[in-house]
A and B are shown apart, each in its own frame.
Chain A
């Protein structure tokens, strides 16, 4: 009994370090500090189980690219719904559809290629473009956008990604 009480805190100590490594906190935090949206960056990565086993910045960057892809896909679905709901916004919504489509078929594949094959600057370009596409989508509404928050999120995620990959150059 006494032995258990004595040993318990040391067991906790031994258990503590693997717990923090499971969360991969130092890598996530260090990486996110290099971006202008630290809080968002940490939140996104922590909620993605893959970040627990990411071994380096490249792995983190690939997770972020996948998040761009997922969010852009979500944007496309949302835009389809909005087209029904706001027929008057059909034109800018169609433009937005093209923009998010360009992110998915252009920027994301280029970023993945660049990161996996070893020339990351092309991933910086792609991520920056993804931010630009989200911005351009927003501008198409001339101030009356029904998807401002969504566009901002997509923009910020892309900027985070570009910042992260920039550190690899």
Chain B
């Protein structure tokens, strides 16, 4: 045998082959394992088949984004990449994501003129910086109080503390010092939303959410330092805070916004707090006797699958017979209960009407198909984190809502502020339909009305636009009625297609019986206009269905503002005319249809239709019907919202500031002068 590379000692017969085979097997196996691991390692470093394949142009081949965009504007010729992503799972990530870009106009530079015009005259807003949720609204010792989420340091959300203002009439507000700041470990990351409860003996308790030093959401108790101070300037936090922490199994960031408490028949106070379990939005209920010790009641008051986190839960009774409001603790016959929640996912406020069962602590919706989170919204525009309170002064329930901006950050930074509160509204059950609430601006808004112009039975033929000479058109209260002739309503063909304000072409989409309504914040050439209108669709069974919409698509020549259309179906009963009330206050437009069955709040940022260049028009863009309209339009005064005077005497007496009367006149004249100068300036720019 020739020399072999393998050297081994010959073994006795029978033993030689085995050791060789075992070692070879081990070597082969090891080699395979090494190769196997290396392959696994390398393939993980490459791309696992991705859901979205990017081709060479960085375009999304499997374009989920395209599928998710519901309202593709046919007039837009922009390449897809310029459209912000809209998640397929929700219609709008936020108002800022719903941009509908129009023509290829240059990016609009915001001038100080345009930006300063945007500040409102009679809606609540702090003098500067960011605001969001209304907090702890309450009527106490002769004053209406409004607290609110506030950033003292900038026009963005952050460093949140409680701002504070007071008013005698829900309209004329005085700014007070910050009520609560983030100075305890249990609210150092944020003094968040809360509610006020007035006890039977008149004591005021405030429960609010704090974000702790570890960003855990807990509930804290606070109360006035001096209950005899009607202005409630100073507040004390209960030393034993927090009084509630997230229950077992609930996320540390899924537990916030305690409600006003209501009294049970056992004499305990009951509160609700929103949360979620996976994708089911829920409301916990707690009982307490002292606002310090709580008992978590078994189960939940209510929950709805696939609605996500419930923020700013509200729970209150409404009378089935009368229009007046009910104390939050009221229960008994002739009462239904409303559950409301703000959906963290889609940034809308939903409510549902149902029956509250105190004993087994449940609430059952009258119609589960329009349950909380899937049914009716308070408002079909920008309106979030809303909260009601019972106004024992005028025996009504009043609703506040946070109205954010729908412009871009560059403008907010430049103008130094962001957000408004909506005009306060009364809420009551619509006794005619029984299935929705009615919301209407509080009656004190009427006190702002100055001169008016009335128009009787104006006939608008199909495709007509008629200017209304109302004088200045940036602070208006318009109440309008519309009638179509019966023949037109009857002879219109039926349609199979379900109409939707948001997916329509807005006021440019001509149907047989609509759109018709008002054009507000429009300029003479109508290059900018905000239509607030009705659209009547005839369904398959011949029934008429009315929609109430606001169309922002041409509201501004700027292209960094929201241009979507808002709105919804509005019930119109037999014999009713089509009616709307529209409040215009600079950059906010609020529409109320059919006495408040459907409401829409929009933020509008014109570049031309401002100051003296703003106009109002009536329009009828229907093809098959003439519309007759009667309306009245009032000029609206400013509410002169300003800081409460520093005079100590007046603070202690708690009366409305008197020295300020002269000051307010001076301020009024000052505002008048400023407005005139700005108007003249604007006119020069316009011309």
Contacts and interface: CB of A to CB of B under 8 A. Distances in A.
Contacts of B347: 121
Contacts of B252: 118
A166 to B, nearest CB: 6
A163 B60 CA distance: 15
B96 interface: yes
Contacts of B531: none
Interface residues of B, number: 68
Question: Chain A: interface secondary structure?
Answer: helix
B189 interface: yes
B58 interface: yes
A110 B156 contact: yes
Interface string B235-268: 0000000000000000011000000000000000
Contacts of A5: 26-27, 30
B50 interface: yes
Contact of B559 (A2, A107, A117, A136): A136
A156 B82 CA distance: 9
A128 B410 contact: no
B37 A16 contact: yes
B72 to A, nearest CB: 16
Contacts of B134: none
Contacts of B60: 36-37
A73 interface: no
From B51, B158, B192, residue with most partner A Cβ within 10 Å: B158
Contacts of B85: 36, 131, 159, 162-163
A67 interface: no
Given A6-B26, A20-B44, A139-B107, A106 B413 contact: yes
A95 interface: yes
A95 B107 contact: yes
Given A110-B158, A125-B157, A162-B97, 17 more contacts: A20-B44, A33-B50, A37-B52, A38-B51, A102-B409, A102-B413, A103-B409, A114-B158, A117-B158, A118-B189, A118-B252, A135-B99, A136-B408, A136-B560, A138-B82, A138-B107, A163-B85
Interface of B: 23, 26-27, 29-30, 33-34, 36-37, 40-41, 44, 47-48, 50-54, 58, 60, 63-65, 81-82, 84-85, 87, 93-94, 96-97, 99, 101, 104-107, 109, 154-159, 189-190, 192, 211, 215-217, 252-253, 308-309, 344-345, 347, 408-410, 412-414, 559-560
- Which are the 10 A-B pairs with shortest beta-carbon distances? A9-B33, A140-B107, A113-B158, A102-B410, A110-B156, A106-B409, A118-B215, A38-B50, A39-B54, A128-B97
28 contacts: A6-B26, A9-B34, A10-B33, A20-B41, A33-B52, A36-B52, A37-B54, A38-B53, A39-B47, A98-B414, A103-B409, A106-B412, A109-B154, A109-B156, A113-B159, A117-B215, A118-B217, A125-B96, A126-B156, A135-B82, A135-B101, A138-B82, A138-B107, A139-B101, A140-B107, A142-B104, A159-B84, A162-B85
